[in-house]
Amino acid sequence: METGFRRLSVAVLLCVSAAAALAQDSDDPLGELISPDLERREIREAQIDSENIEITAYLGGVMNVEDFGSNPLYGGALAYHISEDLFMEAAYGKTELGESSFERLSGAAPLLTDEQRQLSYYDLSLAWNLFPGEYFLFDKWALNSSLYLIGGVGNTSFADEEHFTYNIGAGVRVLTTDWLAFRLDVRDRIFEHEIFGEAQNTNNLSTQLGVSIYF
Amino acid sequence: MNRLAAKFRRSRQLFCGAMAALLIAASAQAAEPQARPAHVPAGTEQVTVGSPYIDMHTGPGRGYPVFHVAEHGETLWLLKRRTDWVKVTLRRGQTGWVRIIDLNEIYGADGEQVQVRLPDFRDIESRHFHLGFAYGDFDGADSMGVSLGYRFTRNLSAELRATQAVGAFSDSQTYQLAVLHQPFPHWRLSPYFMLGTGLNITAPNATIVATEDRRDTAMLTGVGVKTYLSRRFALRAEVANHYLLTSRENNQEIVEWKLGFDVYL
């Protein structure tokens, strides 16, 4: 009798608990076995300014245009620093063409008008900070610096014509502070023109000293 | 004698009590957020180093030497960032540059973890701007281009594009607004489709024929592929078809090939 009652009560208990488990199953599979008392880790983003843009003004420069002599160069550049190794740069420059040796020697009428002798260029380049390091000035100063290789494409405009231009070069940047740097840059701009009658590929070298500010 | 001993004991207790009070006061002071030293500008982010140590370099690059080490538990102020480096200063004035990846365990005033985000092309859920330069062939003419894009969902980006092409017979400038769809943004080599519209300005070379510049509305379709070489630098190649709606008898089609790179801003 007693065992029968015990069996019944166990069966009832099982049924009830199974029903309860089923009922719980429908809304929360884990029931109260695992309570979600884990605290979520708090992560916040740092409030911090970025200084990846560098604006450069040429303090002085000289550009040689093949057959047309060397003349002062004016201009500037805007760079975006992608990583410590790479930066991209858009540059603009202006110079004027001198007299070509043909014009000087032949004594003929000038090939170009004064307006046509105004040369301007712009280009888009990618540069690689190949040798970062320090320059030492006497005992007192160690200046951060880098030597970079740069190359890109652009457009040179003179003599009422546009000339597609490739540029390659190298430069040195010396930082006096975190935000002020001096740059000495040598560039070869390669383009083709037809001023002397037939298409001629020219290498036009320029050197410029610039001061740049990071912001 | 006994009274004297009791007095001495009492005074010793008093002294110990005072010392304990002092110690408690001192430790309470240490737990409070530390006062900002004079060389740190107001509003600068203040964090505590949680990792064993952080190397400080003289400049933002691997070529600049380590001159100091910030220790575990030391307070840092984050001044500014350049590329993947942050300029930090310590309480006693040492100021240098640390790698962002070394700042993976820094904590704020309330013990919360502070993170300096590293932009990453692989993070396809993030909305971001990207800037690109390109070189290409525009119907036989050499072309250079610049583009500014914004990715607003994991698949879709919008782009402003400008191209200058210099050819033997004519020079062109194109300005476009395009929408790019990347069906598989998580692929390492991810293709995209492009639809756009814009303006093409064509200037025939004066030495050949004396004609006016033409301005035509253009419809742009294209396909391309993008692949990232590093977290912030992706290469892309593209072929696009410009359909010029001219005022002449026939519309004109121009095929343009481009190779360039995109940078995560």
Is A154 within 8 Å of B230 when comparing Cβ atoms? no
Q: Give me the residues paired with residue B128 across strands.
A: B151
Classify B99 as helix, strand or coil.
strand
Q: Residue B87: list chain A partners with CB under 8 A.
A: 178
Are B232 and A82 within 8 A, CB to CB? yes
B243: left (phi over 0), alpha (psi -120 to 50) or beta: beta
Residue A212 contacts residue A54 (beta carbons within 8 Å): yes
Is B208's pLDDT higher than 70? no
Contact, A45 vs A35, CB < 8 A?
no
Which of chain A's residues have a Cβ under 8 Å away from the Cβ of B58?
A: 134, 142, 144
pLDDT band, very low/low/confident/very high, at B28 (cuts 50, 70, 90): very low
B106 - beta bridge partners? Answer: B49, B114
Identify the DSSP state of B162.
Answer: E
Closest in B84, B116, B133 to A124, CB measured: B133
Nearest residue of B to residue A123 by CA position? B144
**Cα-to-chain-centroid distance, residue B36:** 28
Q: Is the pLDDT of residue B25 over 50?
A: no
CB neighbours of residue B70 within 10 Å:
22
Q: Which residues of B touch A43 (CB under 8 A)?
A: 112-115
What is the structure's pLDDT at A5? 62
By C-alpha distance, the chain A residue nearest B85 is A84
Q: Which residues of A touch B84 (CB under 8 A)?
A: 83-84
pLDDT of residue B121: 83
8 A C-beta contact, residue A133 and residue A146: yes
**How many CB atoms are closer than 10 A to CB B102?**
17
For A106-125, write each residue's pLDDT tens digit: 877 888 888 889 999 999 99
Concatenating the DSSP letter of every residue in A160-193 gives: TEEEEEEEEEEEEEEESSSSEEEEEEEEEEEEEE
Task: Give residue for tokens 């190794």.
Answer: A85
Residue B20 has pLDDT above 80, yes or no: no
**Which residues in chain A are closer than 8 Å to B265, comparing Cβ atoms?**
80
More confident residue, B27 or A200: A200
Distance, in Å, from the CA atom of A55 to the CA atom of A183, rounded to the nearest integer, reads: 11
Residue contact B61–A146, C-beta within 8 A: yes
Q: Of B40, B66, B144, B202, which to mutate for an interface test with A (greatest number of A Cβ within 10 Å)?
A: B144
**pLDDT average, residue stretch B195-214:** 80
- Check residue B30 and give its pLDDT: 41
- Please report the pLDDT score of residue A197 as a whole number: 83
Cβ contacts (< 8 Å) between B113 and chain A: which residues? Answer: 41-44
Instruction: Return the domain boundaries, chain A.
Output: 1-31, 53-214
C-beta atoms of B47 and A80 within 8 A: no
The C-alpha atoms of residue A199 and residue A197 are separated, in whole angstroms, by 7
Nearest chain A alpha carbon to B145: A124
pLDDT of B122 reads: 82
Looking at the DSSP bridge assignments, the partners of residue A165 are: A154
Using a CB-CB cut-off of 8 Å, the residues of chain A touching B132 are none
Q: Which residues of A touch B169 (CB under 8 A)?
A: none
Mean pLDDT of B185-198: 94
Rounded Cα gap, residues A49 and B102, in angstroms: 18
Q: Enumerate the β-bridge partners of residue B5.
A: none
Q: Return d(Cα A121, Cα A127) in angstroms, integer.
A: 18
Q: Is A146 left (phi over 0), alpha (psi -120 to 50) or beta?
A: beta
Query: What number is the average pLDDT over the span B33-52?
Result: 85
- Tell which residue, B196, B175, B190, B183, has the closest CA to residue B224: B190
**Distance from B240 to chain A by nearest Cα, in Å?**
20
pLDDT tens string B108-163: 888 889 988 888 888 888 889 999 999 999 988 999 999 999 999 999 999 999 99
Q: Report pLDDT for B261.
A: 95
- Specify the residue for token string 């089609």: B253
A153 contacts B135? CB cut-off 8 A: yes
**Nearest chain B alpha carbon to A147:** B63
Q: How far is A46 from chain B (nearest CA, A)?
A: 5
Please judge whether B133 and A41 are an interchain contact, meaning their C-beta atoms are less than 8 angstroms apart: no
The DSSP symbol for A73 reads -
DSSP state of B176: E
The answer to whether ipTM exceeds 0.85 is no
Q: Which of B240, B203, B249 is nearest to B220 (CA)?
A: B240
pLDDT at A100: 85
Distance CA A54, CA B171 (A): 31
Residue segments in chain A with a per-residue pLDDT below the cut of 50 = 23-25
Which tokens go with A27?
């809304």
Mean pLDDT of B82-110: 92
3-state class (DSSP) for residue A204: strand
d(CA B182, CA B228): 14
Domains and CATH numbers, chain B: 45-114 (2.30.30.40), 128-264 (2.40.160.20)
What does the alpha-carbon distance between residue A204 and residue A186 come to, in Å, rounded to a whole number? 11
**According to the model, what pLDDT value does residue A39 have?**
60
Residue B123 has a pLDDT of: 83
pLDDT at B23: 47
Taking one residue from A and the other from B, the number of pairs with CB-CB distance under 8 angstroms is 119
pLDDT at B96: 94
- Nearest chain B residue (CA) to A40: B112
pLDDT at B31: 40
Could B144 and A88 be called an inter-chain contact, meaning their C-beta atoms sit closer than 8 Å? no
- Judged by CB atoms closer than 8 Å, whether chains meet at B133 and A142 is answered as no
- Of the listed ranges A50-59, B5-14, B242-251, the least confidently predicted one is B5-14
Are the beta carbons of A132 and B63 separated by less than 8 Å? Answer: yes
C-alpha span between A124 and A191 (Å, rounded): 15
Test A124 with B58 for CB contact under 8 angstroms.
no
Going by C-beta distance under 8 Å and a sequence separation of 6 or more, which residues neighbour residue B47? Answer: A46, B75, B76, B77, B78, B103, B106, B107, B108, B114
- What pLDDT, on the 0 to 100 scale, is given for residue B79? 93
Q: Provide the total of helices (H) and of strands (E) in chain B, helices listed first.
A: 1, 16
Given the candidates 3.40.190.10, 1.10.3720.10, 2.40.160.20, 2.40.420.20, the CATH classification of the domain at A53-214 is 2.40.160.20
CA distance B107 to B89: 15
Q: Do B233 and A86 touch (CB under 8 A)?
A: yes
